[in-house]
Amino acid sequence: MSTLTKRVSLTQYLVEQQRHHGLIPSQLRLLIEVVARACKRISISVNKGALGDVLGSAETENVQGEMQKKLDVIANEVLIEANEWGGHLAAMASEEMESIYVVPNRFPQGEYMLLFDPLDGSSNIDVNVSIGTIFSVLRKPEGGAAVSEADFLQPGTAQAAAGYCIYGPQTTLVLTVGAGVALFTLDREQGSWVLTQDKLTIPEDTKEFAVNMSNLRHWAPPVTRYIEECLSGSTGPRGKDFNMRWIASMVADVHRILTRGGVFLYPWDKREPEKAGKLRLMYEANPMGFIVEQAGGAATNGHTRIMELQPTRLHERVSVFMGSKNEVERATAYHQEAA
Ligand code: P6P
């Protein structure tokens, strides 16, 4: 993990990445800068708290059947309005919208498709705990046909970029375009994103796991085995003590793991056995999996690499194990032994 002294802006970083790696064509650079600007706008609403009309329920339900918070709706609208006119996108998909949003004919269509969870961790909004925006970028398939939901059903390995913005004590933007992971901190005095860490790496080993322990009795045996071994600590088969953290905001838990290592689990459980897991593949697990892998970590569904899963539905869910490579591999091996 390198920290930087010379202040490099997001724009300069993107231009240099394009110059050295050729990974950021102009439409993708515009897309990333527009999303970063939208996240700045969302952070202003988030930071208002009780001083603005942004807390509490929007009294509406989203496609997941979850009650929407006002900030869920605000963040979704900000991302749609910021991105639809730029000519870099063909369509967008959001956790908060049942079907895709095709860029209106009055605007030029671009070659990318943007997916996002506009405000992840909404249950934490009213209690002032870190929340975030997660986004994933796919390329529109070749061919002049009108963009459709089927075009979005690409595996995570097809992502052109992925990132998240965490609205916490600092407002930070974490980004990968496939050449490592960079972290930008929002300089509120100048209103600009400043590169504060580059080439983030996740330690392959860790003593910290993140899971909602209240679900223990609902887990499949391999998960129970993995967690109980961690809890046995130095007296058990792992021979070392573990610490536990659970913020119930994926962005915040993954950000901690990206910063100091750890393993994040949201596994399948028998409360709703027909669902593969709680988290969504397309705009939570895939973008976070891309970032974690680019930082030297691993991300599986207990059986296979998350980024290689072939999506069948836009809002499909997935079981998630991600973070320090050796821990993810151990938890995955326990599933394979049990299979
Ligand atoms: P639980 C937030 O609602 C979220 O989708 C993730 O950000 C988070 O990791 C998880 O759900 C928390 O779930 O069941 O612990 O409230």
Q: Is 282 helix (H, G, I), strand (E, B) or coil?
A: helix
pLDDT at 152: 98
Pocket test for ligand 1, best of 117, 123, 284 (most atoms within 8 A of CB): 123
pLDDT at 205: 98
Name the residue at shortest CA distance from atom 13 of ligand 1: 248
CA neighbor of 100 nearest in space, from 66, 47, 140, 134 = 140
CA neighbor of 38 nearest in space, from 81, 91, 94 = 81
**Longest distance between any two alpha carbons in the chain, whole Å:** 66
The per-residue pLDDT of the chain, averaged, comes to 95
Please tell me the least confidently modeled range out of 134-148, 254-268, 280-294: 134-148
Ligand 1 center from residue 179 Cα (angstroms)? 29
Ligand 1 center from residue 66 Cα (angstroms)? 12
Q: Is the pLDDT of residue 2 over 80?
A: no
Q: How far apart are CA 37 and CA 82, in angstroms?
A: 8
Q: Specify the ligand 1 atom closest to the Cα of 246.
A: 15
pLDDT at 21: 84
Where do we find the tokens 């996240």?
39
Name the residue at shortest CA distance from atom 4 of ligand 1: 121
Ligand 1 center from residue 213 Cα (angstroms)? 12
Percent residues over pLDDT 70 in the chain: 99
Name the residue at shortest CA distance from atom 9 of ligand 1: 250
Pocket test for ligand 1, best of 62, 72, 119, 120 (most atoms within 8 A of CB): 120
Kindly report the pTM of this predicted structure: 0.96
pLDDT at 3: 57
At 215-244, the pLDDT tens digits run 999 999 999 999 999 999 999 999 999 999
pLDDT at 143: 84
Q: What is the mean pLDDT of residues 109-133?
A: 95
Ligand 1 center from residue 45 Cα (angstroms)? 21
Percent residues over pLDDT 90 in the chain: 89
pLDDT at 66: 85
Q: Is 16 helix (H, G, I), strand (E, B) or coil?
A: helix
Pocket of ligand 1 (CB under 6 A): 120-121, 123, 212, 248-250, 266, 278-279
The DSSP secondary structure of 286-305, one letter per residue, reads: HHHHHHHHHTT-EEESSSSB
pLDDT at 240: 98
Q: How far apart are CA 153 and CA 148, in angstroms?
A: 10
Pocket test for ligand 1, best of 250, 253, 288 (most atoms within 8 A of CB): 250
Q: Is the pLDDT of residue 144 over 80?
A: no
At 155-208, the pLDDT tens digits run 999 999 999 999 999 999 999 999 999 999 999 999 999 999 999 999 999 999
Q: Domains of the chain (ranges plus CATH)?
A: 2-198 (3.30.540.10), 208-338 (3.40.190.80)
Q: Specify the ligand 1 atom closest to the Cα of 264.
A: 9
State whether the Cα torsion 218-94-193-41 is positive or negative: negative
CA atoms within 13 A on the CB side of 228: 10
Which residues 6+ apart lie within 8 Å of 106 measured at CB?
none
Ligand 1 center from residue 245 Cα (angstroms)? 13
pLDDT tier at 5 (50, 70, 90 boundaries)? Answer: low
Query: Strands 112-120 and 298-300: what pairing?
Result: unpaired
At 19-70, the pLDDT tens digits run 988 889 999 999 999 999 999 999 999 999 999 988 999 999 888 788 899 9
Q: Are the C-beta atoms of residues 247 and 130 closer than 8 Å to each other?
A: yes
Ligand 1 center from residue 5 Cα (angstroms)? 36
Pocket test for ligand 1, best of 133, 278, 315 (most atoms within 8 A of CB): 278
pLDDT at 64: 78
